[in-house]
Amino acid sequence: MDHDLVPTTFLEFQEMLYEISLTKHGRFRSNFVFRGVGNKDWGLETSLQRMGSHAASIERPLLRNFLKYAGPGDVASDALLFKLALAQHHGLPTRVLDWTTAPRVAVHFALSNENHFEVDGVIWCVDVANARRVLPANLGSILAAEDAFVFSVEMLEEYKSLAQFDNIDAGNRFVLFFEPPSLDSRIVNQGAVLSLMPGPELDLKAFLTKPENRDLVKRIVIPAHIKWELRDKLDQDNVSERMLFPGLDGTARFLTRYYSVGPKRQAGEVVPVPPMK
């Protein structure tokens, strides 16, 4: 993508990732949310879009049946944003996309699969403060009244269905960002934020990279040659599956990856994996 930021070293990458201006309150607070992907050429397809060309036609049946088969008390709210967040959290394909307020969490997800370490990755960074300007007026006024950059589920609890949401400003495209409810420690530890567009087929990458929306987004490339260094240093900082997926499942995922082959062993050299301290 034009205007990508391309570091050449680990230190340059860190500087780009944490380029945060001083606020009027004298604090270093970022307006960005982040999403890391293992290959810089990938788009921003949702899990629903990855289902195939019939994704739009199955969205409502998927969500309807997910809610129908939920157990008593599993769905604590009938607000659309709550239902979408719950479904996404449990692995149902939805039109929402995962982001994080934590830069290094985004880097973890870009480096969670060593099969992609031979190609450059990228961190998508979206300025949610600027993104408020693309919202329909009635939604923008809610954020202004709450002095907020992103929505909570409660702010939009009047919207109960996908059809109702899609008709907020019929014909116009926009993206909104919202914080999911703290369903468990995984959402809290990941600093989770979700994005949502008014249609299952809409392409977020195409929207963000339109010339008039260039102020909303930047991308920081992760060169392939620093991926192993980044991965090992994230583990040293405890930014790993053990922290982001609390419990034995996360621990097992971390240990499986930690004891996997490294770049030298993949090249044929036998190098023992160091024991954990």
pLDDT digits (tens, 9 = 90+) for 93-113: 999 999 999 999 999 999 999
Whether residue 247 is contained in a domain is answered as yes
For the segment 70-86, what is each residue's pLDDT rounded down to a tens digit?
999 999 999 999 999 99
Whether residue 276 is contained in a domain is answered as no
pLDDT at position 263 over 90: no
Domain of residue 189: give its range: 10-50+74-258
> CA 79 to CA 192: how far, in whole Å?
18
Whether residue 138 is contained in a domain is answered as yes
**How confident is the model over 214-233, as a mean pLDDT?**
96
Percentage with pLDDT > 90 across the chain: 86
Whether residue 223 is contained in a domain is answered as yes
Whether residue 182 is contained in a domain is answered as yes
**How confident is the model over 236-259, as a mean pLDDT?**
94
Q: How many domains does the chain have?
A: 1
For the segment 116-170, what is each residue's pLDDT rounded down to a tens digit?
999 999 999 999 999 999 999 999 999 999 999 999 999 999 999 999 999 999 8
pLDDT at position 269 over 70: no
For the segment 19-47, what is each residue's pLDDT rounded down to a tens digit?
988 888 889 889 999 999 999 999 999 99
Whether residue 215 is contained in a domain is answered as yes
Whether residue 60 is contained in a domain is answered as no
Give the pLDDT band of residue 66 (cuts 50, 70, 90): very high
pTM assigned to the model:
0.92
pLDDT for the residue 25: 84
Whether residue 274 is contained in a domain is answered as no
